[in-house]
Amino acid sequence: MNSWEILVKMVKEQGVEMVFGLGDSYLNMLAEEAGLLAVNVRHESAAPFMAMAYSRLSGNIGICSASAGPGTANLVPGVLEAYSGCSPLVIPCHSAAISTSGRGEFQECDQVALMEPITKWSAQIPKAELLPWYFKRSITLALNGVPGPVYLDLPHDVMGAGPLEANPADQGVESSSPEYPENFTRVEQQRIAADPTSVEQVFSALIKAEHPVVIFGNGAVLSRAFEESRQFVEEFELPFLTTPGGRGLISEDHPLALGLSGRYRTEPARNYYQKADLLITVGSKNEAFQTGYWQHYPERASFIQLDINPEAVGRNWQPDLALIGDVKTVMQQLLNQLNSQEKSREQQQQSEIKEKRAELRKELVEQKDKFQKKIFSESKTSRGLLAREIIPVANQVFGPETILVNENGSQDIWSYFYPYYQVESRLGCLPVAEQTCMGMGIVGAIAASLTCPERPVLCIAGDSAFQMYLQEMATAVQYNAGCTWLVLNNRGLGWIRAKQQRAGYSTYSTEFSFQPDLTAAAESFGCLGFKVTERDQLRPALTSALEANAEGQPVLIDCEIEYNPDMSHLDDGNWWES
């Protein structure tokens, strides 16, 4: 068994079911023989995005790899996105030989330095016998603490050429190969509990607050704190928002749900949130978009911050109390505190407060109902299709079990925006991270369909993002990935064009004077394609797409929309300047 075969076997032992990369990756070449699905993409840059989608939905690490030099360099945008989104990836890549370093070896590149700023750990394996240790260490670092990507550099004269190797000695490879570690076991995430004294202090603050609000972030989903978070808000009667990364934690049709925080905050959410006397953020970095550029702080509120990373405490807003630990574990600690028999006096106090909060809850539900009626009764004054009317229809047709795969672009001011799109199922949303690299959603939808083939998968995207990765339609067809891309086609770069118009500049640089026929392109790749130009064409196209997806056929729906950059519903006065 050579070094690459040992690596593949350890990947499988970790419980990983599929790996992503171009077909020239040694890992991908050997994966099928080991019983793994090798998803061979058309461009390396798609691989990290797919690995991110797989990791989020499976709860395991994502694995992607590439060949030396430009192949590895092509992974950089996706690895940057994974680092921003705390996505646990392990990225083992082939590299030029150490023995000829500095002499101009073919595709020689300092790949360790290339990856160092955008990974938790970037390391080169110096000897083949150390491969098991390095790989296991990579998984441990990727999964634990603040999750994130790890890069492993595998030099040719250490690891060999794997499936292309005829005679290791002829290739200048070490004669000794590592032994497979028979005691190799799957690495699990270690869950850290919060300090009990801090838990008691937070519990005390919780039961005294009359107008509390919670914001759940990406960390709560990464922790898999689904049931604990639901019980937490229900037991304490806590209205809650999520960041884009927190969607899919608790259903947005929950009576206590207020939609998204920050830029995508709704009118009822703002009215309740700004009056809060206690703000709790759970697993959120509290970055610009999630906080309205840090302006969305309730004036009279105390602040509790729950995060796994002690260095994140006070990074943006200074908390009155902090809980350091794994979200799932700390949520359970708070629930245990509530159920403790020693807390009878506090429970009585909690009962009184809950009565007051129940009144607020009733008022909140009425405000939400009123807001939804207002939203969905908006008159269709335009002659052309608008994004805000397309997205609710897609939400209705695809149904509550759908995985919404977000994409960057001006369409996100509607697809991110509850209640235009309402995420109701667990893990019902694959978000882009703070870097918002265009194209992540396009290819993430393919991996989502392969990971969860029993669920509908819908990616709502703009035409610009779609064209960055349209070649991966071939990958979707090759692997029978039944997903739908709903492209809102405004023939240009919508976000930037709106800013140009706002500033009084010409928009020639952000308008596409030529646009390919996306439907014809989709059909040439083997997808099913629909062009929608009228309102009455939309629902039938979506219904047909859902039926085709169930048979493993990917579908593109090209909706020609009226360019109407009405962003008055955004609750963020600084977006124009961002």
Segments making up each domain of the chain, as ranges:
3-171, 196-376, 387-577
The three-state secondary structure class of 557 is strand
Is 70 exceeded by the pLDDT of residue 33?
Answer: yes
CATH 3.40.50.80: does it fit domain 3-171?
no
Give the length of the chain.
Answer: 578
What is the distance between the alpha carbons of residues 66 and 77, in angstroms, rounded to a whole number?
Answer: 14
10 Å Cβ neighbour count for 117? 11
Per-chain mean pLDDT for the chain: 89
pLDDT in tens, 125-177: 999 989 999 999 999 999 999 999 999 999 998 887 666 565 544 444 444 55
- Please choose, from the candidates 289, 300, 312, the residue with its C-alpha nearest in 3D space to the C-alpha of residue 242: 289
- Taking only the tens place, the pLDDT of each residue in 268-325 is 899 999 999 999 999 999 888 888 888 889 999 999 999 999 999 999 899 999 999 9
- For residues 476 and 443, the answer to whether their CB atoms sit within 8 Å is no
The Cα 103–Cα 329 span in angstroms is 52
Mean pLDDT of 554-561: 96
Q: Which helix (H) or strand (E) holds 185?
A: none
Q: CA-based angle 567:263:288, to the nearest 5?
A: 135
Distance in angstroms (rounded) separating the CA atoms of residues 241 and 512: 37
CB within 8 Å of 463: residues ≥ 6 apart: 487, 488, 489, 490, 491, 492, 512, 515, 518, 558
The two three-digit tokens of residue 272, written as one number: 């309740």
Q: What is the pLDDT of residue 566?
A: 66
Please answer whether residues 126 and 158 qualify as being in contact, where contact means their C-beta atoms are separated by less than 8 angstroms. Answer: yes
Specify the pairing of strand 302-307 against strand 321-324: parallel
Residue 341 has pLDDT above 80, yes or no: no
**Under 8 Å between Cβ of 487 and 463:** yes
To which residue do tokens 């807390």 refer? 343
pLDDT at site 359: 80
Given a cut of 80, is residue 465 above it in pLDDT? Answer: yes
Peptide bond into 419 cis (omega under 30): yes
DSSP 311-325: GGTTSSSPPSEEEES
**Beta-bridge partner residues of 559:** 488, 532
The H-assigned helical ranges of 321-455 are: 327-339, 344-376, 387-398, 412-415, 440-451
pLDDT of residue 480 exceeding 60:
yes
pLDDT higher than 70, residue 381: no
- Say whether pLDDT at 253 is over 60: yes
- The secondary element (H helix, E strand) that includes residue 429 is strand 429-430
Question: What confidence category does residue 185 fall into, taking pLDDT thresholds of 50, 70 and 90?
Answer: confident
User: Listing from the earlier edge strand, what are the strands of the sheet with 484-489?
Assistant: 429-430, 403-405, 457-462, 484-489, 555-560, 528-532
pLDDT for residue 246? 96
Query: What is the CATH topology of the domain spanning 196-376?
Result: Rossmann fold (3.40.50)
pLDDT of 373 over the 90 cut: no
Q: What is the dihedral of CA 292, 296, 302, 306, to 10 degrees?
A: -20
Q: What is the pLDDT of residues 399-424, one digit of tens each?
A: 999 999 999 887 777 888 888 899 99
Tell me: the pLDDT tens digits for 415-459? Answer: 888 888 999 999 999 999 888 889 999 999 999 999 999 999 999
Residue type, 288: A
572, pLDDT greater than 70: no
DSSP assignments along 142-210, one per residue = HHSSS---EEEEEEHHHH--GGG-S-GGGGT--SPPPPP-TT-----PPP-PPPHHHHHHHHHHHHH-S
Question: Per CATH, the architecture of 387-577 is what?
Answer: 3-Layer(aba) Sandwich (3.40)
Nearest to 151 by CA among 81, 69, 64: 64
| The residue to which tokens 């919404």 are assigned | 404
pLDDT (average), residues 229-254:
95
